[in-house]
Amino acid sequence: MHIVPFLCILYLLAFLDRVNIANARSFGLEAELGLERVEFNTALTIFFVPYIILEIPSNIFLKKFSPRLWLSVCCLGFGIVSIAQGLVQNYAGLLVTRFFLGVFECGMFPGCFYLLGMWYKREEAQKRFSLFFSSTSLAGAFGGLLASAIGKMDYMRGYRGWRWIFILEGVVTVVFGLVFLLTFPSFPEEATWLTEDERAFVKARLEADQGKNAAERKITFADVKSVLSDIKVWLGGLMYFGLIVPAYGYAYFSTTIIMTYKFNAIETQLRSVPPWAGAFVLAMVVAVVSDWMRHRFLFAILPILFSISGFAILFNVHDNVDVMYMALFFIAAGTYSAMPVIVCWFNMNLGGHHRRAIGTAWQIGFGNIGGIISTYSFLPDDAPLYKKGYAICVSFICLSAASCTAYAYVLWKENKKRAKAVHDVGLTEYEKLELGDLNPEFRYML
């Protein structure tokens, strides 16, 4: 209760402020700001520029200043920017606010996963990771419900409904950011609510599972270079990269797709809710079973097949609204169930503070390049069938599946190699700390 609820609320707010532009689009944003052709897509894209570049620096600052301070300040920042987004008067203003939204949100996802990974053992982590990650599904569901209600405030005090969506949701974020400054959790070594005995217990159980973590050690450029020279780290980035394209494609354009089914703005928002709810349920079922079986690979691949089937339906069926709407359930549930498994799997196979901080930020930062691709996958000229968009999403999902398979093979091969090697190679405790998961005594989870 001291960790996961705070992270879930924080990321729910971050994802809501990130994707509520899709809801705002249904309530006159493009018309009032005079957006033409792909300008809306460009506004989505600009968010990812700082988001990608600043992931690793953000995790380094998080370790330096503590999660409580760093993540709370970031939360305040993107809440204020969200309010400003509701006050913009032109396309240039929208681009500026979307850019700074990316600046303040860049640390949320890798930072929260990094923090989670420093509290829980590998076989108990997936439920927590999936519950946290499923904040995205809850944000999608709440976003649709809130937008359908806030949209009714259209022209209240002279503001269109899309402006109220940004302003009110931004105000809520700022309030939570202020509360988090005083209450947000930190690393076990810094947790004031733990006694010394409890802190020693947490440290000992994690060391037994993952080895020592070198929490007191500063991260250097040499650490970054070392981590990025590991083939497993690149495969981890590709696994996530492949799923980001369909994930953001769905998050940003599901309401646009639903509108092609001839629903009005309010009905579109309401019908966007059930697929997100279904994604939350499946993600938690997958997480519980994955932890119980202490296995990740198959629980990444099986949901991916769900997602592919959904896109296949949309690519081929164009005259049956019920079937097309069902396909959205497959896409949301499959994509948003596989993603937390992939991130948890990779994150928890990184040993030590420095390797985990850099590796997690790299996976999220590199993976979010896919966000740029997703923003140009569903263009106005391709409406209402969006065949190009569906084909692009399926291609990248297949890339993710192939990367998962390669990653699992590399882990299996490395574990087999270490099982045959001499168990005691004479490493000092300091050398084991420096090696992290590269320590010959470490075993990777498949």
d(CA 290, CA 421): 29
Q: Can you give the chain as a three-state secondary structure string?
A: CCCHHHHHHHHHHHHHHHHHHHHHHCCCHHHHHCCCCCHHHHHHHHCHHHHHHCHHHHHHHHHHHCHHHHHHHHHHHHHHHHHHHCCCCCHHHHHHHHHHHHHHHCCHHHHHHHHHHCCCCHHHHHHHHHHHHCHHHHHHHHHHHHHHHHHHHCCECCECHHHHHHHHHHHHHHHHHHHHHHHCCCCHHHCCCCCHHHHHHHHHHHHHHHCCCCCCCCCCHHHHHHHCCCHHHHHHHHHHHHHHHHHHHHHHHHHHHHHCCCCCHHHHHHHCHHHHHHHHHHHHHHHHHHHHHCCCHHHHHHHHHHHHHHHHHHHHCCCCHHHHHHHHHHHHHHHHHHHHHHHHHHHHCCCCHHHHHHHHHHHHHHHCHHHHHHHCCCCHHHCCCCHHHHHHHHHHHHHHHHHHHHHHHHHHHHHHHHHHCCCCCCCCHHHHHHHHHHCCCCCCCC
Task: Confirm if 223 and 354 have CB atoms less than 8 A apart.
Answer: yes
pLDDT number for residue 401: 97
Residue with tokens 């953001």: 248
Quick count: other Cβ atoms within 10 Å of Cβ 64?
11
Task: Confirm if 316 and 93 have CB atoms less than 8 A apart.
Answer: no
pTM across the whole model: 0.83
pLDDT number for residue 151: 73
pLDDT number for residue 400: 97
Contacts of 3 (CB under 8 A, 6+ apart): 115, 116, 119, 128, 185
Give me the amino acid identity at 329. Answer: F
pLDDT number for residue 341: 93
Distance, C-alpha 73 to centroid of its chain? 19
The tens place of each residue's pLDDT in the chain, 446 residues long, gives: 577 888 888 888 988 888 888 888 888 888 899 988 889 999 999 999 998 888 878 888 887 888 889 999 999 999 999 999 999 999 999 999 999 999 999 888 778 877 877 777 767 777 777 877 787 787 777 777 777 788 778 778 778 888 998 999 999 999 999 999 988 887 777 667 667 776 777 667 666 555 554 455 567 778 788 888 889 999 999 999 999 999 999 988 998 899 899 888 888 888 988 999 999 999 999 999 998 998 999 999 999 999 999 999 999 999 999 999 999 999 999 999 999 999 889 988 887 777 887 888 888 889 989 999 999 999 888 988 999 999 999 999 999 999 999 999 999 999 898 887 766 666 666 666 666 677 777 888 88
d(CA 18, CA 410): 35
pLDDT number for residue 212: 53
Q: How many CA atoms lie within 13 A of 368 on its CB side?
A: 25
**Rounded (5°) CA angle 103-108-111:** 120
